[in-house]
Chains A and B, each alone.
Chain A
Amino acid sequence: MSVSSDDATPRHLRDKYAIVGVGETPYLRFGGRTTRQMGVEAVRNAMADAGLGKDDVDGMLSYSVMDSTMSPVIGSDLGLRLNFYMDVIGGGSSTEAILGLAIGAIETGMCKTVALFRSMNGATGVRMGGTGRGAPRISSEQLFGAPYGYTSPAQYFSPTFMRHMYEYGTTAEQVAHVKVFHSWGASCNPKAVYSHRVTVEDVIESRPITRPLHLLDCCVETDNATCIIVTTAERAADLRQRPARVLSVVGRCSKPRMDDHYQAGPITRVAGHYAKEILWPNAGVGPEDVDVTGSYDAFTFTTLLQLEDYGFCKKGEGGDYVSDGTIGLGGRRPNNTSGGHLCEGYTHGMSMVIENVRQLRGEVDDYCPVDSRGIRQHTYDYSAGGCRQVRDAEVTANLGWATPGTGSALVMRRG
């Protein structure tokens, strides 16, 4: 029996699930706490945000690069009895992927409501790319990177962007605007580690890390935990917050052969080129319908490459797209209004989903005045220390990055 492509894609799940609670710890350069302590705090905050008690959350999912505390430990600290849990290996791009797994777990009847968390001492614990301390034994697959001083994400992602500059004439100044515009959001976000606004010159004049990257092209590694809670739209209706409905999710979609060694090419193409073929048809919307993006900014250029390959602009025109004002507060489609990983803190992607959930609720602001009924009145004045709520935000897209060859994505709408 043949199945049409329309039947084979799970569009019937569109709108059926929602993120109902979000929470986090502070983002700190030196947190001084265990991943257990931080994880418990983030999940507790998200449960309180959703109005869920200990008997209401029966599923947990987390991800880590073996640098965290497993979900049964966190769940037990919160008095939960779990019907489902899983702790998966991975960093960036895991948030959207495990959201899809959580929806699957609920859909199969294994559990009803799932808390997803990431807890990491990203500054003081495991560092991405290592520290150079100790003398590790390098074997097998590692021999095709480590002996060449080609180990950190900055080192092994950057050939893509260097080639982009060569092929399309993209400039360091253009991509520096990603940091500039994210810093605008951060300046309106009291949670941000780097809350001051920076200029293109600040980025270009910061010290080189891996050419073509300067220090300010790189994200700020921090200690923190983050959590989102997903359940059915039906249950969401009885909960405290306006739900953020899931329109579509893509999990760790990859280029041919993962392209870890850039054999498939073109090397300026990232996994979003493939992920978008799942993301947009399943969501029933396209890039032009999106009001706010949350594009993974491990580096300034990872945001640029993803925005191109998900179709927010033409391939090769990302330099213009990220520098012409579109992605800044007050622009046509702001990106990472919290400041993202470049400014707010580094959580392997989950913080950008939290920010967009709050955008869809219309409650993302921290500094705007509260009226006599306790309702925040957005000023839409986007100067430093002001508003970061995007006016009438109805649809958001999160673009998660693991490597150039693997990515995940999520489209949500205001419930």
Chain B
Amino acid sequence: MPLQGEYLGMELFVPDEGVEHKKFFEYCGRGDFRLQRWKSNGLLSYPPSTGNPWDGTTEHDWESVEAKGNVMSYVEVPHAIIPALREHSPYLVLLVELDVQRGEPSEHEALRVIGNLVTPDGDLAPPDLVDRVGIGSRVRMVFRRVGEGFALPQWTLDETADQPKPWRYVEGSGP
């Protein structure tokens, strides 16, 4: 069965033949963040792909990954394009660098996973929470159910972590 979901007025769909995407989102549906670990070089990769992005080989296993990291960059969107997002604006899109495999296999490489800033329950963050997050913030993954056995990974502040003072873009002036 294809995965079918609905989120903020958007119809989400993963066909059966999209094997890699289907596995990824099925695992998310079980609250399990799994990535492909490639047999040839032992590296994890994101997002799901048909071939190993480093060497083109195809042998891999799906492995649970601890989905914690820090915000490497972000954008704040006050002017939403998707109508249902307008009532949640401004919203944040976070580019999160996982702790796992940071700086491998070379200095600037890392597993960087996008998502919105959400509450621990998976709802888009309210304005007071948006204002508290920026580059350096420690976040953990939560899953937002969008359909039967189908969930989207999202990010929320990691309550257990020591939070550094995040770097925030200030309107109209530089840092």
Contacts and interface: CB of A to CB of B under 8 A. Distances in A.
A256 B54 CA distance: 9
A105 B175 CA distance: 50
A159 B83 contact: no
A281 to B, nearest CB: 24
B11 A155 contact: no
A261 B82 CA distance: 21
A140 B18 contact: yes
Contact of B174 (A129, A170, A207, A263): A170
B116 interface: yes
A30 interface: no
B81 A132 contact: yes
A135 B9 contact: yes
Given A160-B73, A210-B79, A261 B114 contact: yes
Interface string B1-42: 000000111111111001001000100000000000000000
A8 interface: no
Contact of A151 (B81, B83, B95, B175): B81
For A129, A139, A143, A263, which residue has the most chain B Cβ atoms within 10 angstroms? A143
A150 B114 contact: yes
Nearest to A133: B83
B12 A138 contact: yes
22 contacts: A132-B81, A132-B82, A138-B10, A139-B15, A146-B82, A147-B12, A147-B152, A148-B152, A159-B74, A169-B174, A171-B173, A171-B175, A174-B174, A204-B172, A208-B76, A208-B79, A262-B73, A262-B95, A263-B45, A265-B110, A266-B108, A267-B72
Nearest to A154: B75
Contacts of B175: 165-166, 169, 171
A267 B135 CA distance: 14
Interface in B150-175: 152, 167, 169, 171-175
Interface of B: 7-15, 18, 21, 25, 45-47, 53, 72-83, 85, 90-91, 93, 95, 108-112, 114-116, 135, 146, 152, 167, 169, 171-175
Nearest to A261: B47
A171 B74 CA distance: 16
Contacts of A147: 7-8, 10, 12, 146, 152
A140 B24 CA distance: 10
Nearest to B77: A210
Given A129-B81, A166-B135, 16 more contacts: A139-B18, A140-B14, A149-B77, A158-B75, A162-B74, A163-B135, A165-B175, A166-B167, A171-B173, A174-B174, A210-B77, A212-B169, A261-B112, A262-B73, A267-B73, A269-B108
